[in-house]
């Protein structure tokens, strides 16, 4: 067995991915099924001088993370549906103020308290549109324990590179499941580093190429003395009510992600090249889907599997390209139809898109997806 192989829980892998990426600050509030991340951070971070704090609620948690990030530290919080809802206002703040922060949302059944210990995938749209106003987000959905490590690491890479809040959209099963994981050699990690200015002279905190440029971020306490505000602001950081300033700012923030959709896309494909029926899924639903697709292939049916790891920004072009041969596309997800809307939009009538929602709080059984495949052929 390789030296770095370990039996590991999804939440544990997520924490280790964050630490590998240079996590220095964690603020959180207990909530099932994400709590193990907070517990592990409270234990691990002090060992290397990192900071943990259990805040009074999730609003405080995201706020503290943003504050910490402004001092130059890599910060993360972890939560589930109800807490994720509470964080939305400050996610918008981080988005507008361009403050890197990673938010792990281990999805559970909702709305409301719902079924706290049951898996769900109902936060697809909340992750995209939870905060008010036009904005872009990055959301990554791990499909197994190893990806909890990899995608949390990647979340920091994106957060630092694009100065955006990045959401790791896991679910109860992915995060509580244990699998053997072989972690990469730590010396191979390319630690994400924030682009910083070199001198306070002439520093413009929001000076960047209007076509999606990312401004350099000065850490607080280093003599830059800049103003960070959730009001629309000009390049100098000064609040502005001018139409042109608002227009330019929102367009730059939008382009920042929009022009990098292809760089951000990430997926797992199997047997898609010649498929007649494709299954597009993510997270724990995709585990059952993959099993069903393989069974269908064994039975001579041309089924294909596309599992999205990057959910937002939605990879329209990749979906169209990879599903080119498919006449039908089945979208299994543990909600009443959220991702399917995006697939439909991207496919734009080129194939029949079939919704396969499940809201029982139980995982898909491969038989259910296999049955849908059989019906589709």
Interface residues with other proteins (CB under 8 A)? 16, 19-20, 22-25, 27, 44-51, 53, 55-57, 59-61, 63-75, 89-90, 93, 186, 189, 191, 193, 219-231, 238-239
The three-state secondary structure class of 40 is helix
Q: Which of 43, 273 has the CB closer to other proteins?
A: 43
Question: Least distance in Å: CB of 90 to other proteins?
Answer: 6
Q: Which of 30, 299 has the CB closer to other proteins?
A: 30
Which H or E element spans position 267?
strand 267-270
Contact 288, 340 (CB under 8 A): no
Residues present in the chain in total: 377
Q: Which of 35, 54 has the CB closer to other proteins?
A: 54
Q: Residue 103: beta bridge partners?
A: 77, 167
Question: Least distance in Å: CB of 340 to other proteins?
Answer: 33
Which H or E element spans position 151?
helix 145-162
Q: Within 10 Å of residue 180's Cβ, how many Cβ atoms?
A: 12
Question: Least distance in Å: CB of 65 to other proteins?
Answer: 6
Rounded-to-integer distance, Cα 277 and Cα 326, Å: 5
Q: Which of 153, 162 has the CB closer to other proteins?
A: 153
Contact 256, 138 (CB under 8 A): no
Question: Least distance in Å: CB of 61 to other proteins?
Answer: 8
Task: State CA 323 to chain mean position distance.
Answer: 23
DSSP 194: -
Q: Which of 90, 285 has the CB closer to other proteins?
A: 90
Contact 186, 238 (CB under 8 A): no
Sequence-distant (≥ 6) Cβ neighbours of residue 325 within 8 angstroms: 272, 273, 274, 275, 276, 304
Q: Which of 242, 321 has the CB closer to other proteins?
A: 242
Q: Which of 181, 305 has the CB closer to other proteins?
A: 181
Rounded-to-integer distance, Cα 244 and Cα 260, Å: 24
Rounded-to-integer distance, Cα 298 and Cα 370, Å: 12
């Amino acid at each position: 067995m390789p030296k770095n192989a370990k039996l590991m829980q999804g939440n544990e892998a997520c924490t280790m991915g964050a630490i590998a990426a240079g996590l220095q600050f964690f603020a959180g509030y207990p909530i099932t099924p994400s709590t193990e991340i907070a517990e592990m951070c409270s234990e691990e971070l002090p060992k290397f001088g990192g900071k943990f704090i259990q805040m009074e609620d999730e609003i405080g948690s995201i706020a503290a993370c943003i504050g910490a990030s402004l001092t130059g530290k890599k910060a993360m919080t972890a939560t589930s549906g109800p807490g994720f809802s509470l964080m939305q206002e400050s996610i918008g703040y981080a988005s507008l103020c361009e403050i890197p922060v990673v938010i792990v949302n281990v999805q559970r059944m909702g709305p409301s308290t719902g079924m706290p210990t049951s898996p769900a995938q109902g936060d697809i749209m909340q992750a995209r549109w939870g905060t008010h106003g036009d904005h872009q987000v990055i959301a990554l959905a791990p499909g197994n324990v190893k990806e909890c490590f990899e995608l949390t690491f990647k979340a920091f890479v994106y957060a630092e590179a694009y100065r955006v809040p990045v959401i790791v959209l896991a679910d109860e099963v992915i995060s509580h499941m244990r699998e053997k994981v072989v972690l990469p050699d730590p010396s191979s990690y390319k630690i994400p580093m924030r682009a910083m200015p070199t001198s306070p002279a002439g520093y413009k905190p929001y000076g960047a190429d209007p076509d999606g440029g990312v401004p350099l971020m000065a850490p607080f306490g280093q003599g830059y003395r800049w103003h960070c505000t959730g009001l629309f602001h000009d390049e100098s950081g000064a609040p502005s009510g001018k139409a042109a300033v608002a227009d330019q700012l929102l367009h730059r923030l939008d382009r920042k992600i929009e022009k990098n959709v292809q760089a951000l896309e990430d997926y797992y494909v199997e047997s898609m090249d010649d498929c007649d029926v494709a299954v597009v899924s993510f997270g724990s639903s995709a585990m059952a889907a993959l099993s069903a697709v393989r069974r269908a292939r064994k039975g001579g049916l041309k089924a294909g599997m596309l599992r999205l790891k990057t959910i937002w920004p939605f990879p329209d072009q990749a979906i169209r390209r990879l599903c080119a041969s498919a006449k039908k596309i089945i979208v299994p997800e543990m909600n009443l139809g959220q991702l399917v809307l995006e697939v439909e939009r991207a496919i734009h009538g080129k194939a029949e898109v079939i919704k396969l929602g499940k809201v029982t709080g139980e995982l898909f059984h491969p038989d259910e997806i296999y049955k849908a495949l059989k019906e589709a052929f």
